Homo-oligomer: A and B are copies of this chain.
Amino acid sequence: MKLGAIEAGGTKFVCAVGDEHGEIFEKVVIPTEAPTITMPKVYEFFENKGIERMGVGSFGPIDLNEKGGTYGRIQKTPKIDWVDFPLAEDIAKNLNVPVVVDTDVNVAALSESRWGNATDVDACLYITVGTGIGAGAVVNGQTLKGLSHPEMGHIGVRRHEKDSFAGACPYHGDCLEGMAAGPALEARWGKAGVELTEDPLVWEVEAHYLAQALVNYIYILSPERIIMGGGVMQQAHLFDLIRKNVVDMLNGYVSSPRLTPENINEYIVAPGLTDEAGVKGALGLVI
């Protein structure tokens, strides 16, 4: 059976034809411009490929409510051309296939749970720390949805005692994303994240915020593994700092062998998939 998959990202659309085993046969990358420019190229690629269903992992915010009449519609986003674009509906109409949409981070979590670093567990969480902070999760074998897609990057965090940065989130100021995403790092320390290497305080503060978030996710969602990706996590030494902070903050409260100092480095891990994570996860939505 042939299935379609689209990773609809802020800079590029990755389109692929694959099958129900997660195999990918053919792939194309299309730059993200206005929908009127990008979408016709997408349709051209998929035309006459005989795909039966389409899975889409999309940048957001996007409406995931299947009952609301605007399922798969892009919501307010800084990408003006895409505001209110009915992504799912447009694809369904143009390619004449059923479409399943989810957020990019939910799709990344699904991908890791099927083919990456969380194949041995039932519930995992994927968090990306990049230009923004977003997280997705797989629970009971399905991606986590509800009222709307989760916005885990915007939870409240407690300030590090040595940090007086006001916060960079336009909605909340000093929420997690406002304190710990790449642009916050840059605004706080006056240098791009990639150049910030020396001062241990930089990473102590960063780990303080990210660990708080993980602890909240553990208390609320109880994932069996946490996968951390995104540009900022290229600073590989952050992993150990975060792990240590998480163990300290939990203070033994959640009794699980996965959360002990010995096992925590198998609990908080880097992604197992790199290049094809997004598009494979999108395929996973329709398998």
Please give the residue numbers on chain A whose beta carbons come within 8 Å of chain B beta carbons, in ascending order.
61, 75-76, 122-123, 139-140, 142, 144-158, 171-172, 212, 215-224, 249, 251-256, 258-259
Contact = CB atoms under 8 A, between A and B. Distances in A.
B150 A220 contact: yes
Nearest to A157: B156
A145 B223 CA distance: 8
Given A142-B140, A171-B252, A172-B251, A222 B149 contact: yes
Given A156-B215, A212-B156, A216-B156, A255 B147 contact: no
A219 B150 contact: yes
Contact of A147 (B154, B157, B224): B224
30 contacts: A61-B255, A123-B146, A139-B139, A139-B144, A139-B146, A140-B140, A144-B221, A145-B222, A146-B221, A146-B224, A147-B218, A147-B222, A147-B224, A147-B254, A147-B259, A148-B222, A150-B221, A150-B222, A151-B218, A151-B219, A151-B222, A151-B254, A155-B219, A156-B215, A156-B216, A158-B158, A171-B252, A171-B253, A220-B220, A220-B221
A69 to B, nearest CB: 12
A102 to B, nearest CB: 13
